[in-house]
Amino acid sequence: MKGATFMIGTPRLLDQVIQMMDEIKMEDCDTKGDLYEYMLSKIASAGENGQFRTPRHIIGMMTELVQPKQNDLMCDPAMGTAGMLVAVGVYIHRKHPGWFHDRHFREHYKNHMFTGIEFDSTMIRIGAMNLQLHDIQNPNLFPIDSLSESNADMRERFSLIMANPPFTGSLDCDAVESSILKMVKTKKTELLFLGLILRMLKIGGRAAVIVPQGVQFGSSTAHKAIRREIVEEQKLEAVISMPGGVFKPYAGVSTAVLVFTKTNSGGTNNVWFYDMHADGYSFDDKRQEIKDNDIPDILARYHNLEAEAQRQRTDKSFLVPIEEIKANDWDLSVNRYKQVEYEEVEYAKPETLIEEITEIDRERMELLENLKKMLA
């Protein structure tokens, strides 16, 4: 907690805060964690320096997609407030409470399972407190730049990575660890982080990563190289395209979730695409809850991909063979493969429209004459 500042400036204010908190039931970690998460959502500086807070329901969707396992070693190389790590912990508590009866798992959970990397010292402190309040007592947190030489020793270490790397920005190539540049020669952080994630994953390790839409169809050599690497050399399972409003009010950029497994020997046969239209919230700055929500459908279909073979390209989700993706320069944008149905609309003949307009004009003139007589 080096460098932390206590911002409650007067004894009276501290007394008021304590009295208000005393009325909140704090018996379990869920209440404290939920309160802290709510406070994080109100941070005024969120969105500065590219630090967009990932919506918790999107993180929840990603967690359900990868379904954390009992022996996983999980990492978020762009940790921020530790939302990804917390979500995995919450998932395990809710879906697999019986795992905690095993002494070896409890030891693994408390001391080894969670790793976070974040260069911003303020975010490290915020994330550390978030993890503590969610009963993750001894996470491995590293205050370093994930892309730099200081992180060069983290190779093939993790079985699960979930991340929302910085969307924009560029780095001097001299500042980036050399093995990442061998995979993807670029200055763009979103591409460098994909290379980093592939380096950090074990063989058989899974990843769910949020990327901006430019990664899906960018035409530069680096864009194509990283997409080819993920599709041809690894196993890309899913591309879930999300609407632009998901990151409101911080940003309006369209994004996608890539779900893949590191194999270093290929394995991609068909890639599952889903065109998300709604996430349960309005796409304005208020982000109010609404009824329309594709997330339950996404989860149900992803975990039953055999049935997706019958889906048409006009549906929200469908499978695309690797040969077609290769022929399209490894393009991963859903619009490249989706087919749009156009309904034929029949309009009245011009003569009919002219007659209708003439009749409307006649009625208008008749009403106008009656009005004049009334005023005379």
Look at residue 360 and tell me if it is in a domain: no
In three-state secondary structure terms, 37 is: helix
List helix spans (H) across the chain. 11-22, 29-41, 56-66, 83-95, 103-111, 121-133, 178-183, 189-200, 213-217, 221-228, 295-302, 322-327, 334-337, 350-375
Look at residue 135 and tell me if it is in a domain: yes
121-133 and 83-95 are packed helices; what angle lies between their axes, rounded to 10 degrees?
Answer: 10
Look at residue 296 and tell me if it is in a domain: yes
Identify the domain containing residue 110 by its residue range: 24-337
The tokens for 110 are 């408390």
Look at residue 261 and tell me if it is in a domain: yes
- pLDDT given for residue 139 in this prediction: 94
Look at residue 164 and tell me if it is in a domain: yes
pLDDT by position in tens, the chain (length 376): 566 676 787 889 989 988 887 887 766 555 665 666 666 666 544 444 445 678 889 999 999 999 999 999 999 999 988 999 999 999 999 999 999 999 999 999 999 999 999 988 888 888 898 898 888 889 999 999 898 888 888 999 999 999 999 876 666 667 788 888 888 888 888 999 999 999 999 999 999 999 999 999 999 999 999 999 999 999 999 999 999 888 877 777 889 999 999 999 999 999 999 999 999 999 887 888 899 999 999 999 999 999 998 899 999 999 999 999 999 999 999 999 998 777 778 888 899 889 999 999 999 999 999 998 888 7
Owner of token pair 């997409």? 227
Where residue 212 falls (left for φ over 0; alpha for ψ -120 to 50; beta otherwise) is: beta
Look at residue 344 and tell me if it is in a domain: no
Look at residue 371 and tell me if it is in a domain: no
Q: What is the pTM of this model?
A: 0.82
Look at residue 314 and tell me if it is in a domain: yes
Q: How many domains does the chain have?
A: 1
CATH number for the domain harbouring residue 326? 3.40.50.150
